[in-house]
């Protein structure tokens, strides 16, 4: 018996289009990863790379190659050391990205550091040796993941993409002096923590944010410790009745669910800072120390 669908080309075309749309909807979701100096990234849980492009507004695409079982991504196109590279990958359940400095030993990169040889100590494991070469928040400014304040746009884009996987409302907020200040998103990647702030100036006059710092009060010692800021935000002018989002990058601390974070905001011509208390228990579970 002849298939009725084959006798109706229009219906067959519509069904084909629906199938394509479904495949795009289900499988076309992408994650965004920022790579910087060295332009070499290892996806330890391989994802299909959709495109590699510059982190600037022109979004120039770069030629790239994939090599090795761990999917070594190498960008051939020359670029300035102050350029971020945006890697769009097919969405996976979980992935880890390691960012390398320009001085990383390529011989180590070519090793299969996913397997640990019998009898090898942790310190001599290729993955540990590689980690010692990686840039950290405490090193020179040119090794930071986000290199300048204008790249907070990229950081915000990462946080927004990540939020699709962990959809939730604002974590906490404070309203004082006609300013609404809240924490919308927190993301942890490559030993760095991205804090996405939300600002609302409810007054008609502009207000200026001069400085933001983050401290942590540990439940174990009851001590308040300043957290290292990897990306120092410039002063921010809030026009009247304006909404602005900003991303602050800090070195990711080990957070227990009983700990507390404090965002301290200094404003121009206002003596007392705004202090936003953030209960660690309100943060996404993947941010907290296991247990």
Question: What are the structural domain ranges in the chain?
Answer: 30-134, 150-287
Task: Tell me: pLDDT of 36 over 50.
Answer: no
Q: How confident is the model at residue 232 (pLDDT cuts 50, 70, 90)?
A: low
Question: Contacts by 241-244 with C-beta closer than 8 Å and gap 24+?
Answer: 241/201, 241/202, 241/203, 241/204, 242/199, 242/200, 242/201, 243/198, 243/199, 243/200, 244/198, 244/199
Task: Tell me: pLDDT of 160 over 70.
Answer: no
- Considering the chain, what percentage of its residues have pLDDT values greater than 90? 13
- Against a cut of 0.85, is the pTM above it? no
For 46-65, how does the pLDDT look when each residue is reduced to its tens digit (9 = 90+)? 445 555 555 444 455 655 55
Q: How confident is the model at residue 182 (pLDDT cuts 50, 70, 90)?
A: very high
Q: Which has more pLDDT, 74 or 210?
A: 210
Mean pLDDT within 124-152: 39
Q: Which has more pLDDT, 68 or 44?
A: 68
Where is average pLDDT lowest: 12-16, 40-44, 168-172? 40-44
Mean pLDDT within 76-80: 50
CA distance 280 to 256: 7
CA distance 278 to 262: 6
Where is average pLDDT lowest: 59-63, 111-115, 197-201? 111-115
The two structure tokens encoding residue 164: 């699709």
Q: How confident is the model at residue 260 (pLDDT cuts 50, 70, 90)?
A: very high
Task: Tell me: pLDDT of 278 over 90.
Answer: yes
- SS3 label, residue 107: helix
pLDDT of residue 215: 94
* From the candidate CATH numbers 3.40.50.300, 3.60.15.10, 2.60.40.1150, 1.20.1560.10, the one assigned to the domain spanning 150-287: 2.60.40.1150
DSSP calls for 147-177: -SGGGHHHHHHHHHHHHHHS----SEEEEET
Residue in the block written with tokens 């800072």: 273
pLDDT of residue 245: 74
Task: Tell me: pLDDT of 173 over 60.
Answer: yes
Q: Which has more pLDDT, 282 or 17?
A: 282
pLDDT of residue 75: 52
């Amino acid at each position: 018996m002849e298939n009725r669908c084959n006798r109706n080309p229009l219906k067959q075309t519509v069904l084909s289009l629906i199938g394509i749309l479904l495949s795009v909807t289900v499988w076309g979701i992408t994650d965004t990863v920022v790579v910087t100096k060295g332009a070499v990234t290892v996806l330890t849980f391989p994802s299909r790379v959709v495109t590699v492009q510059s982190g600037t507004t022109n979004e120039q695409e770069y030629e790239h190659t994939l090599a090795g079982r761990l999917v070594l991504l190498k960008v051939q196109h020359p670029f300035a050391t102050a350029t971020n590279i945006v890697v769009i990958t097919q969405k996976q359940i979980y992935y880890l990205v390691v960012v390398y400095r320009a001085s990383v030993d390529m011989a180590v990169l070519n090793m299969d550091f996913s397997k640990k040889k019998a009898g090898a100590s942790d310190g001599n494991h290729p993955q540990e040796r590689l980690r010692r070469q990686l840039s950290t928040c405490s090193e020179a400014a040119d090794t930071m993941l986000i290199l300048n304040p204008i790249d907070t746009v990229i950081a915000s884009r990462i946080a927004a993409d990540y939020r699709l996987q962990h959809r939730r409302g604002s974590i906490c907020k404070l309203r004082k002096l006609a300013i609404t200040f809240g924490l919308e998103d927190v993301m942890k990647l490559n030993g760095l923590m991205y804090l996405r702030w939300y600002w609302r100036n409810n007054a008609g006059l502009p207000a200026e944010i001069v400085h933001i710092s983050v401290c942590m009060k540990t439940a174990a010692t009851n001590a308040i410790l300043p957290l290292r800021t990897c990306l120092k935000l410039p002063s921010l002018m809030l026009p009247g009745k304006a909404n602005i989002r900003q991303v602050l990058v800090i070195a990711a601390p080990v957070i227990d669910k009983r700990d507390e974070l404090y965002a301290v905001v200094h404003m121009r011509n206002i003596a007392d800072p705004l202090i936003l208390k953030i209960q660690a228990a309100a943060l996404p579970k993947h941010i907290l120390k296991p247990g």
